[in-house]
Amino acid sequence: MYLKYSQLITSRTLICARKSLLYKIVPEPSPFRCKKSEKKWQCLNVQTSGFHTTQKLHFHAPVILCLGSILCGSFIRKRWLKLSPTEQEMIIRWYKQRRHIFHGGWKILSAILIIYFLTCIKRDPIVGAPRFVLFNEAQRIQNAKFLFKVVVQSESNVVPHDNHMYKKVARIIKKLTNANKEIFKGIDWDVTIIYRIFNIASIPNVLILPDRHIIILADIFNLIKSDDQLTFILAHEMSHEMLYHPSQTLSLGALSNNVILLSTFLIWVFYPPGVAAMLSSFMYILHAIIFACFKRSCEREADKVGLQLAAKCCIDSREILAFWEIMKMYDELTGASMFRIPFLNHHPSLEERKKITIRLMPKVNQLRDLVGCPELPLRDPRDFLPQYKRELEDELRRNPRLLGMRW
């Protein structure tokens, strides 16, 4: 589908394998070419890209813009206070004489913005809910390229393409797409497996970019104990994309950042520095809380839809309950949960996600029956949790980490 990552920074591409997903690594001596005679399938492009070898330095744009809005607002306030009462009165009178022009201009601009934002509403193909998507396809791909470089950082951070993990992921994605053809018809998926996020943190996690590029951190395979668990995890990430969550997050983030910058500017214009600092801090904290609430709602929705998509692959939903328990063990053993602030966390608690799974289990079993799945095994996967805990403890002993960091 997309060969965009072959154009990220250099023309060198490690993998450009478009396969029929028979899960074979492209044979040597030419691992960079695919046979044209092979059938094109809604395929998985397993690929990584070259990177600059020289370090690039970047300013953090939101921080610079925030400081700029504070300085501009403070500067205008100081200039206003330096004016004499007569000069201030003249400016106020000048504004009042032309207030109809200013108010009319603001109304016209507001109407244009409202109409424009209404044109950015799209309905997702699964639940049909309205989504605010500010960026078009080309812009989403460009944003995804930037996010890919930020998350992956370097070529050495990418797991080699001949690793067995790629074959396993490819097999599961083919299974999901075949079971949900009405949703995934004509859609391609890209996958990159990396060792560390931002080339710093080694944590069990999976994320998806706005262009259907799934990034998997290799450590999650130490926690996944069955194909059913991996099926749900991939279905969860694919649900995010089909529900437009990545694009909606970027769109709402861009819109809210502009609103906050304007608000910060106005606060520092109309209030003294002490009060302005307090109001600005409160506004940023409130924004962080609201954004975290939005992200948690996206995760809950992706859990529900992902569970339904995975159910058509005849998964045992009890495996998902076992996975939530394994994640809780990981949090307890590493102490990761100690550093999470509930109202600022972008994911629901594991206990809440477990309850969502339990609540949806009857619907999952109905879907399994509709597609003709075999009966569930008699033994509950959760019976193996003591064994999984011992394996996890052994793994953490062999590879000691501090909160998933590799130094």
Q: What are the tens digits of pLDDT across the range 140-193?
A: 889 899 999 989 988 889 999 889 999 999 999 999 999 999 899 888 899 999
Supply the pLDDT for residue 74: 93
Q: Residue 17's beta-bridge partner residues?
A: 46
Q: Judge contact between 160 and 192, C-beta under 8 A.
A: no
The verdict on whether omega for the bond into residue 272 sits within 30 degrees of 0, i.e. cis, is no
- Number of Cβ atoms within 10 Å of the Cβ of 215: 21
Residues 6+ apart with CB under 8 A from 95: 102
Q: Do strands 17-18 and 213-217 pair parallel, antiparallel, or not at all (unpaired)?
A: unpaired
Positions of the chain with pLDDT under 70: 1-60, 400-407
Q: Length of the chain in residues, anyone?
A: 407
The residue type at 152: V
pLDDT at 241: 93
Tokens of 142: 């460009």
User: In whole angstroms, how large is the CA radius of gyration of the chain?
Assistant: 25
Q: Is 294 helix (H, G, I), strand (E, B) or coil?
A: helix
HSE (side-chain half, CA atoms, 13 Å) at 263 = 14
Q: Tell me phi and psi for residue 162, to 5 degrees.
A: -90, 5
> Whose CA is closest to 235, among 316, 175, 292?
175
Q: What was the pLDDT predicted at 81? A: 92
DSSP-based three-state secondary structure for 46? strand
Sign of CA dihedral 270, 275, 281, 285: negative
Q: Please check whether residue 214 is in contact with residue 208, taking contact to mean a CB–CB distance below 8 angstroms.
A: yes
pLDDT number for residue 401:
53
Whole-number Å distance between alpha carbons of 359 and 354 = 9
Say which amino acid occupies 118.
L
Check residue 133 and give its pLDDT: 92
Q: How far is CA 333 from the centre of its chain?
A: 26
Using an 8 Å Cβ cutoff, are 46 and 18 in contact? no
Question: Around 303, how many Cα atoms within 13 Å sit in the side-chain half-sphere?
Answer: 24
Give φ, ψ of 121 to 5 degrees.
-85, 125
What does the DSSP assignment read for 179-213? HTHHHHTT--EEEEEESSBTTTB----EEE-TTSE
What pLDDT is stored for residue 36 in this prediction?
A: 38
Q: How far apart are CA 241 and CA 128, in angstroms?
A: 14
Element (H, E) at 303: helix 273-311
Q: Taking each helix axis from N to C terminus, what angle separates 245-270 and 61-82, rounded to the nearest 10 degrees?
A: 20
For residue 201, what are the β-bridge partners? Answer: 197, 405
- The whole-number pLDDT of residue 60 equals 60
Sign of the CA dihedral running 360, 239, 148, 219 = positive
**Closest of 277, 294, 302 to residue 207, by C-alpha:** 302
